Amino acid sequence: MAADYYSYGQSYGQVHLHNGEFLHNRGFRGQGMHMAVLDAGFFNYLTLPTFDSIRNNGQVLGTWDFVTGNTSVNEDNSHGTSCLSTIAANMPGTFMGTAPKTSFYLYRTEDVNSEYPIEEQNWVAGMERADSLGIDISSTSLGYFTFDNPVFNYTYATHLNGNSTISAKGADFAAKKELYA
C-alpha cells in the first residue's frame, strides 16, 4: 500500500482508530458534505492556523449563536473549537481532522455560564436550522442531566429513557429526518 495521503502528526491515533487514513487514501476527505457543529462556542476559530483551510476555502457556510441571537461564535467557549478540530483541522504533519474538506455551519447552543433547559431548546432550534439548510450530518458534544435549578434536573427513572427529555425528542426528530445527530 502507498504511503498515507496525509502526514497526521499528533492526530494519527484518533484518525487510525476508525481507519480514517484508509478513506483519505481513497479520496474520501469530506468533500461535498455539509455538517452542522453544535456546541458551546468556537473560540478563536477565525485566527487559529488549524482552521486556515476552512476559512480560506469558504468552508464555513454560516454561523449562529442561539444563546445571544447573533452570528458571532468566535469569542465564546473553546469546546466547540476542540471538537471542530478533530473533523476540520488541516495542518499536515501536525494535526489532521477526519473530514478536512467538509463544509460547516457552526452553531453555539450551549451557555457555559449557566445550566437551564433553554439550552436543549437552543440545540433543537440549531438542528431545525441545519435541516432547513440541507445538511448531511451533524456533530454535537453536549449532554444534559443536572441544571442550576434542581427542579429541572432529570432522573433516571422518569426522564433518562431516551424519549422524554427535550434533547432526546430533538434527536429523534433529527434521526427521522436522517440528520444523524
SS3 sequence of the chain: CCCCCCCCECCHHHHHHCCHHHHHHCCCCCCCCEEEEEECCCCCCCCCHHHHHHHHCCCEEEEEECCCCECCCCCCCCHHHHHHHHHHCEECCCEECCCCCCEEEEEECCCCCCCCCHHHHHHHHHHHHHHHCCCCEEEECCCCCCCCCHHHCCCCCCCCCCCCCHHHHHHHHHHHCCCCC
Classify residue 4: in a domain, yes or no. no
Q: Which structural domain, as residue segments, surrounds residue 136?
A: 12-176
In this prediction, residue 179 carries a pLDDT of 66
Q: Tell me phi and psi for residue 32, to 5 degrees.
A: 80, -5
Single pTM value for the model: 0.86
Judge whether 158 lies within some domain.
Answer: yes
Specify the pLDDT at position 72. Answer: 97
Query: What is the grid cell recorded at 87?
Result: 473533523
pLDDT per residue, tens digit, the chain (181 aa), is 455 778 999 999 999 999 999 999 999 999 999 999 999 999 999 999 999 999 999 999 999 999 999 999 998 899 999 999 999 999 999 999 999 999 999 999 999 898 878 898 999 999 999 999 999 999 998 777 788 888 877 776 667 677 767 777 777 777 777 765 5
CATH number of 153's domain: 3.40.50.200
Domain tally, the chain: 1
**Is residue 181 in a domain?**
no
Q: Is 2 contained in some domain?
A: no
Closest by Cα among 6, 72, 7, 24 to 44: 72
3 lies in some domain: no
Take residue 155 and report the three cell numbers written for it.
432522573
- Provide the pLDDT for residue 157: 63
Q: Is residue 131 part of a domain?
A: yes
